[in-house]
Amino acid sequence: NHVVQQKMQEGTIVRIDTDIPVPTRDIVLVRSRLVPQSEGAARFTSLLVNRESTRDKVL
């Protein structure tokens, strides 16, 4: 979700709507991990794709 990532990068607190009762501490921990994951996901995927393509070329 691009809008959520944009708001998190802007420092806006995103309200999590869920039917499952989650302690606030867990929500904060998860929220703190969301930004690094969203930032690193594209690089990680591109690294995997590049590694696969280069390995195929070498083989």
Does residue 24 surpass a pLDDT of 60? yes
The model carries a pTM of: 0.22
Predicted pLDDT at 30: 62
Percent of residues in the chain assigned helix, strand, coil, to nearest 5: 75, 0, 25
Which residues, in sequence order, are CB contacts of 22 under 8 Å at separation 6+? 16
Q: Which residue has the higher pLDDT, 41 or 13?
A: 41
Domain for residue 48, yes or no?
Answer: yes
Does residue 14 surpass a pLDDT of 60? no
**Looking at the 3D structure of the chain, how many domains does it have?**
1
Q: Give the Cα separation of 26 and 3 in Å (integer).
A: 22
Q: What is the mean pLDDT of residues 14-39?
A: 60
Domain for residue 2, yes or no?
Answer: no
Range of the domain at 54: 32-59
